Amino acid sequence: MRVLQVASEAAPFAKTGGLADVAGSLPAALERIGCSCTLVMPAYRQVFESGVAIEPAGVAFDVPVGQRHLRAEIFRSTLPGSNVPVYFVGNEACFDRPTLYGGAHDYHDNAERFILFSRAVMELAGRLEQPFDILHGHDWQAGLIPAYRQLLYAEHPAFARSATIQTIHNMAYQGTFWHWDMLLTGIDWKYFNWRQMECHGQLNFLKTGLVFADAITTVSPTYAGEIQSAPGGCGLEGVVASRTDVLTGIVNGIDTSGWNPQTDPLIPRHYSEADIAAGKDAAKIALAARLGHAAPDPRPLVSFVGRLAEQKGVDLLAEMISRVAGDGRAHFVILGTGDPGHEEALRRLAASFPGTVDVVIGFRELLAHLIQAASDIVLMPSRFEPCGLSQLYAFRYGAIPVVRATGGLVDTVVDTTPATLAAGTASGFVFRDFDSRGLEHALGRALDAHADVATWQQLVTSVMQQDWSWDASARKYLELYEQILSRPPAPPPELAE
């Protein structure tokens, strides 16, 4: 089976978030179980600065974008640690920029940029030697791919037997643009209607993908349910609910080669569940030095690593820490960057509790790994969380997550109760309502458990033995691909009357 993965970012070439981790790991995992994968992404400036060898593919062609034809120059590489070929769609005017999508505000021409990208993907796929069975697009940036397959390339011999998948990584990001940008797509204006490509008077790339794709996936089973109603669907809940027959939730995996305490080059001492105490002690010593402390804090280390955004529950985090930091039960470390208001609030919090609360604004890969290795408890008080990766990294490094019951956190973290401890399934501490008192109570339960040596050892040993690798997730994707190809081809969605 041949699968084309289409993503707007992929590690290690260019990254802004979790999508890059998925796109950089899933193709290699599929390859390991016998699926032939190819990855396509834009040739951003960051791609050429990534340190990975990139070379011209010797292929270039013009792509129609509205009344203009834009040049697409193709580059190629290989996904590190695999044989997966990677192609990059280059156009200096569109992709040679400081950031992928824009800074404080999106680039004004993002519609044009990703129309060019999507049309170029179809043109490139049609030029490669062998056709693809599956065209698998990720998030709104690839949302036009299913529509192009059905409406503009249906008669192309390279796509005669291909099927399309649209994966939703976060419903909050939909790619909504001025209605006149519809003219740039090359798709007939008649498809700009409420059943297909229009949403509240705007062109919506994600809706387009959801309507025209042969199958839809999202990154956890619980999130697949949440996006079928408000507020989880972010205005597209009706579209998703109408396509539940082709909707599947598959939990993301993690890169267990990069996130592995037994081999991680970014931590001072390797460890497994057999010698975790020594490994965490070494990590705490190294972390204390980096934070400017003379010695590690003997209290349990409670951490948060992630975007400082409303979605991540940073406001709850700050409220809760301001109340409990004075009780002396824990040492808090926060690493992240994001909303300036959240950044300033956390800086003030650290200044109010020196020695108890450490805040590092920014993101450093070494520090992220070191914090995971040193942590006893990891906080994820998310407002919504399609999948979440921090809790899976925590498991790997023997840290216990405290999470809100939402999205992928529900599917990966089992609340610790007498019953789940007895069954050996407990893996964290869960609170339901989105408020800081709920977070505080869950953290209190975690700290009580930490004080019970036998209970904590059972939790840590259990979570470190779980398999959240991409290999497990890839098998589910392969099963889905096989199911899709066994179905009869679906006709294009009907036009609105």
Q: Is the pLDDT of residue 493 over 90?
A: no
Q: Is the pLDDT of residue 153 over 50?
A: yes
Quick one: average pLDDT of 355-365?
92
Q: pLDDT band for 104, please (50, 70, 90 cuts).
A: confident
Quick one: average pLDDT of 170-197?
97
Q: pLDDT band for 497, please (50, 70, 90 cuts).
A: very low
Q: What is the CA radius of gyration of the chain?
A: 23
* 245 and 292 inside one domain: no
Task: Report yes or no: 118 and 142 within 8 Å, Cβ to Cβ.
Answer: yes
H or E element at residue 429: strand 429-431
* 288 and 236 inside one domain: no
Q: Is the pLDDT of residue 171 over 60?
A: yes
Within a 10 A sphere around the Cβ of 496, how many other Cβ atoms? 12
CATH of the domain at 191: 3.40.50.2000
Task: Report yes or no: 27 and 5 within 8 Å, Cβ to Cβ.
Answer: yes
In whole angstroms, give the CA distance from residue 41 to residue 10: 8
Q: Is the pLDDT of residue 470 over 80?
A: yes
Asked whether residue 265 is assigned to any structural domain, the reply reads no
* 457 and 477 inside one domain: no
Mean pLDDT of all residues in the chain?
95
Per the structure, the complete domain to which residue 177 belongs is given by: 2-253+472-486
CA angle 449, 454, 455 (to 5 degrees): 35
Return the structure tokens found at 87.
């192609």
Asked whether residue 260 is assigned to any structural domain, the reply reads no
Give 268-302 pLDDT, tens digit per residue. 999 999 999 999 999 999 999 999 999 999 999 99
Return the structure tokens found at 237.
């809940």
Residue-level pLDDT at 495: 52
Q: Does residue 260 sit in helix, strand or coil?
A: coil
* 453 and 479 inside one domain: no
In whole angstroms, give the CA distance from residue 164 to residue 93: 29
Q: 444: which residues sit within 8 A by CB, 6+ positions away?
A: none
DSSP sequence for 5-71: EE-S-BTTTB-SSHHHHHHHHHHHHHHHTT-EEEEEEE--HHHHTSSS--EEEEEEEEEEETTEEEE
Residue-level pLDDT at 18: 85
Q: 250: which residues sit within 8 A by CB, 6+ positions away?
A: 217, 218, 219, 220, 221, 473, 476, 477, 480
Asked whether residue 440 is assigned to any structural domain, the reply reads yes
The number of residues in the chain equals 497
Residue-level pLDDT at 489: 64
Residue-level pLDDT at 329: 96
* 98 and 219 inside one domain: yes
* 364 and 346 inside one domain: yes
Asked whether residue 16 is assigned to any structural domain, the reply reads yes
Q: pLDDT band for 255, please (50, 70, 90 cuts).
A: confident
**Percent of the chain scored above 70 by pLDDT?**
98
In whole angstroms, give the CA distance from residue 262 to residue 247: 37
* 462 and 482 inside one domain: no
Give 15-39 pLDDT, tens digit per residue. 988 899 999 999 999 999 999 999 9
Residue-level pLDDT at 390: 94
296 prior amide bond cis, ω within 30: no
Where do the DSSP E strands lie in 80-133? 85-90
Q: Is the pLDDT of residue 411 over 60?
A: yes
Asked whether residue 493 is assigned to any structural domain, the reply reads no
Task: Report yes or no: 216 and 169 within 8 Å, Cβ to Cβ.
Answer: no
Quick one: average pLDDT of 76-94?
97
CA angle 87, 88, 93 (to 5 degrees): 165
Residue-level pLDDT at 488: 73
* 224 and 285 inside one domain: no
Asked whether residue 259 is assigned to any structural domain, the reply reads no
Pairing verdict, β 68-78 and 55-65:
antiparallel
* 21 and 111 inside one domain: yes
User: How many structural domains does the chain have?
Assistant: 2
* 107 and 145 inside one domain: yes
* 414 and 478 inside one domain: no
* 302 and 398 inside one domain: yes
Asked whether residue 477 is assigned to any structural domain, the reply reads yes
